[in-house]
Structure formats: structure tokens, C-alpha cells
């Protein structure tokens, strides 16, 4: 008989549960965090996909800036709220009170929300320059087009060939340069 704990989709490391998720689920969560940042008017959004051998402790960094401490906090709040609603609480949040650099850690990805000054000072993009830069659209799930979905569900249509009247021959008696077969 298997224990209930063995059936859960996470493992216990220390006291914090670590989710074992599919890559597509991870991309959806990162995309939700990005959208939360954008909805709160975050500036200079940057997504870094960390290389496996780089020594990085996570798969993705989402970096963005706010113009003042309140906006920095609002961006971090929205990311947390959006992901908690989806059932994904952060493992750790740091720097919230100061509002200069808020780090929201989701284990498989980390959201960094900076003030403009802190962003320039720490320059994480330079520090992790070997990381692959991604566009937000690269994290969205690929959906089939409506036409492709409909064509698989509906019976194939038969083509009807319509007869068209042949255009009359030129009246000037000039011959066409095309040969008829």
C-alpha cells in the first residue's frame, strides 16, 4: 500500500514543499507573473532563462522596475496575488518593506522587482549575461488555430467545381501567345 505522501505532486526539502511540475506548467506560471507585472505598469521587463550548468538555483528570472517604492510593492503584490489565486504561493519574499528590490521566490523561477536606482546598481542582466533572454510571447502556450481545430472536428467538405464561361476570343484577330493543349 502506497502512502498518501508518496502520491502528492511535491517532495519535502527541509520544511518547504517543492513542487514537481511539468515544463509547460512552469511556463504558464512565469507567464502569469509577467502579465501581473505588465498589468501594474512595470518597466523594463526582462526574462532570463538560466542555463543548467551556470550555477543558477532556478530556471527563470523575471526582472522589472517600478518608478517608486509603492509601485514596486504593488507589482510584487500583484504577482503574489495572481499566483496564489492559481494555487502557487511563493516559497520566500524578501525586501518588501524597503521597496527597493523585492525578490519573490517560486523555487523554479524568481521575480525581481526593482526601483530604477537598485536595478542599475545590481545589474543582474550583466551578472547573468550567459542566460538566454526571452520575450513574453515565448512563454505562452502554443494554441492551435480555430481553423485547424474545426477541420479535425468536422467532416471533410467536398469540393464542387463550378463551370465558368470561357472568355470570348479577341475580336481583332490577334492570336494568343499561349498554346492550348
Structural domain count, the chain? 1
| pTM score | 0.65
- Domain of 102? 22-129
Block means of pLDDT (10 residues each) for the chain, length 181 residues? 37 42 76 95 93 76 96 97 94 95 95 96 90 82 51 49 52 49 46
164 belongs to a structural domain: no
Residue 181 belongs to some domain of the structure: no
Residue at 69 is within a domain: yes
Does 36 map to a domain? yes
Query: Does residue 90 lie in a domain region?
Result: yes
Residue 112, domain CATH: 3.30.460.10
Distances from the Cα of 24 to the Cα of 58, 138, 170, angstroms: 16, 11, 63
The mean pLDDT value of the chain amounts to 76
Cell numbers of 66, please?
A: 517600478
pLDDT score, position 19:
45
SS3 for 17-86, per residue? EEECCCHHHHHHHHHHHHHHHHHCCCEEEEEEECCHHHCCCCCEEEEEEECCHHHHHHHHHHHHHHHHHC
In this structure, is residue 104 part of a structural domain? yes
Please report whether residue 71 resides in a domain. Answer: yes
Kindly state whether residue 3 falls inside one of the protein's structural domains: no
Amino acid at each position: 500500500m502506497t502512502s498518501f505522501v508518496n502520491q502528492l505532486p511535491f517532495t519535502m526539502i527541509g520544511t518547504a514543499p517543492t513542487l514537481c511540475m511539468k515544463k509547460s506548467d512552469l511556463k504558464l506560471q512565469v507567464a502569469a507573473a509577467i502579465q501581473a507585472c505588465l498589468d501594474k505598469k512595470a518597466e523594463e521587463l526582462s526574462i532570463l532563462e538560466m542555463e543548467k550548468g551556470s550555477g543558477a538555483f532556478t530556471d527563470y528570472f523575471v526582472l522589472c522596475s517600478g518608478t517608486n517604492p509603492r509601485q514596486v510593492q504593488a507589482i510584487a503584490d500583484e504577482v503574489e496575488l495572481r499566483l496564489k489565486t492559481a494555487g502557487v504561493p511563493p516559497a520566500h519574499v524578501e525586501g518588501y518593506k524597503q521597496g527597493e528590490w523585492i525578490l519573490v521566490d517560486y523555487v523554479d523561477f524568481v521575480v525581481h522587482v526593482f526601483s530604477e536606482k537598485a536595478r542599475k546598481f545590481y545589474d543582474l542582466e550583466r551578472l547573468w549575461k550567459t542566460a538566454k533572454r526571452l520575450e513574453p510571447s515565448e512563454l505562452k502556450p502554443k494554441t492551435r488555430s480555430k481553423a485547424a481545430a474545426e477541420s479535425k472536428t468536422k467532416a471533410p467538405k467536398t469540393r464542387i467545381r463550378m463551370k465558368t464561361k470561357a472568355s470570348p476570343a479577341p475580336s481583332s484577330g490577334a492570336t494568343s501567345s499561349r498554346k492550348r493543349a
